[in-house]
Amino acid sequence: MAKQAHQPALLQRLPDRVVEVLREIGELGDERGFQVYVVGGVVRDLLLGQITLDLDVAVEGDGIAFARLVADRYGAGLAVFERFATARLILPDGLKIDIATTRRESYVKPAALPAVTPASLQDDLYRRDFTINAMAIQLNPAAFGQLHDPHGGQRDLRAKAIRVLHEESFVDDPTRIFRAIRFARRFGFSLESSTRHRLEEAAATKLIQELSGPRLCNEILLLLGERDARKTIKSLVRLKLLRFLHPRLRYTKNGERVVAVLPRALAWWKKQSPDRMVERPLIYLMALLSQAGPVVLQSVIERLRLSTRHSKAVQWAGHKTNRLLHVLKQSKNVRPAEIYRLLADVPDDAIVLLVAKGLSLRTEAGADRLTRRLSQFLKHDRRATTILKGEDLKQLGLKPGPRFKTILDRLLDARLNGNVRTESDERAFVHRMVQKPG
């Protein structure tokens, strides 16, 4: 039977308001005759002395009916996922709670989503990925704060070990391969030796290939979102997992150098554009792909079924940023308008990668020229506009048409290059242009 320990102090580490909500949820559980628990990551984090407000509640009984009850009590927003017997609540003060029916899962086919049947807390903890994630704290008043740890989660937290609950765990669900690396990186833990063995075995099969694009993509981005992504990538390479992105994808020395300087490129970006957020995990993925050719990039985009935004960024990972790098690092003078035209449609994430590529060069002078030019573009030129607009051209007697855009583009170039400043400069420039044929 489960090892149990009464640890009311554990929950008290959460903010008072959250403890109050959890107490009330426990009372509602008693009213309904349900046993209710917080489970998973939040318990692990509490034991590690960390506060997560990602609350997962498990109910022995009808979780969705219970979620409706809680939503009514608080006037919370509610989204119900019948197929998974789960519901998500958002309380008026913003607190998010996921409520699920405790379940047993059976894997009919490896790597596919499991079939779910309601079951006891014991079953529910047994279907989880690692011992450290397989603990629960009861919320019903008589046992409020009681810890359920049937698989030695506390022991493994102390031992800093990631351990699966049974031998087939990675085969049932190969996303756990990535999850194991993710938690190991995040907490500085090691894989327990038999777990490591099982993970390596599963990684050597084709199981990961069976994962859908969005699931694989999600795991990879979550993984690259942990601190020190450079080491994470090393683990992926060591386990030969890049082959699931593309069989010909290689992590070259150049790629490694780009990854190594990415933290500096990100810091540079934050200083330049503090109010424009970039997606760090995405940029690490781009760095990983930075030496790949267009065919491999396209195939990775399709394999991961990337969103439009992510696809656009990843298309810039390879030779397209190399071309920009070539122009922007050169010592020869490059006119601001030319830089503007090169960079106007480049996603921010690709600019960060470009800086990393620059910093990874051995020529410091080239990197300096690159960052100086980018800085000028980001801080000034990107926002430049002409004083005259289409309306003004009409008033000058010009007929609207494709020529308008050409004229306004040239005018903007002239402004960027410092050839026009005032409105009358602009009018004179337009006059000269329309007098010239073509």
CB 7 → Mg ion: shortest distance, Å?
A: 21
Q: At what angle do helices 308-315 and 280-288 cross, to 10 degrees?
A: 40
Contacts to Mg ion from residues 2-41, by CB under 5 A: 41
Closer CB to ligand ATP, 186 or 341, in the complex? 186
| Structure tokens belonging to residue 260 | 């190594």
Helical (H) or strand (E) element with 178: helix 175-187
DSSP string, 290-316: TT--HHHHHHHHHHTT--HHHHHHHHT
Closer CB to ligand ATP, 40 or 255, in the complex? 40
Q: Which does 173 bind (CB under 5 to 8 A by kind): ligand ATP, Mg ion, none?
A: ligand ATP
Q: Candidates 37, 97, 103, 129: give the one binding ligand ATP (CB under 6 A).
A: 129
Q: Candidates 6, 12, 54, 307: give the one binding ligand ATP (CB under 6 A).
A: 54
CB 29 → Mg ion: shortest distance, Å?
A: 21
Alpha-carbon distances, residue 367 vs 66, 178, 261, 316, 374 (angstroms): 59, 35, 12, 19, 11
Q: Is 226 exposed, middle or buried (0-12, 13-18, 19+ CB in 10 A)?
A: middle
Helices (H), 127-174: 153-159, 169-172
Interface with ligand ATP, residue 215, by CB under 6 A: no
Tell me if residue 381 falls in helix, strand or coil: helix
Q: Candidates 35, 133, 138, 386: give the one binding ligand ATP (CB under 6 A).
A: 133
| Structure tokens belonging to residue 262 | 């990415």
Q: By Cβ distance, which residue is nearest to ligand ATP?
A: 41
How many residues bind ligand ATP (CB under 6 A)? The answer is 12
Closer CB to ligand ATP, 103 or 373, in the complex? 103
Residues 388/411, Cβ–Cβ less than 8 Å: yes
Among 247, 263, 428, 126, which residue's Cα sits nearest to residue 420?
A: 428
Interface with ligand ATP, residue 154, by CB under 6 A: no
Interface with Mg ion, residue 54, by CB under 5 A: yes
Beta strands (DSSP E) in 136-180 are 136-138, 146-148, 161-162
Interface with Mg ion, residue 110, by CB under 5 A: no
Closer CB to ligand ATP, 134 or 359, in the complex? 134
Residues 325/358, Cβ–Cβ less than 8 Å: yes
Helices (H), 49-96: 63-74
Q: Candidates 175, 290, 291, 315: give the one binding ligand ATP (CB under 6 A).
A: 175
Closer CB to ligand ATP, 179 or 369, in the complex? 179
Among 114, 69, 110, which residue's Cα sits nearest to residue 87?
A: 69
Q: Candidates 18, 34, 128, 351: give the one binding ligand ATP (CB under 6 A).
A: 128
Interface with Mg ion, residue 50, by CB under 5 A: no
Q: Which does 124 bind (CB under 5 to 8 A by kind): Mg ion, ligand ATP, none?
A: none
Stretch that binds ligand ATP, among 175-183, 194-202, 227-235, 355-363 (CB under 6 A): 175-183
**Interacting residues with ligand ATP (CB under 6 A):** 40-41, 54, 56, 128-129, 133-134, 173, 175-176, 179
Site residues (vs Mg ion, CB under 5 A): 41, 54
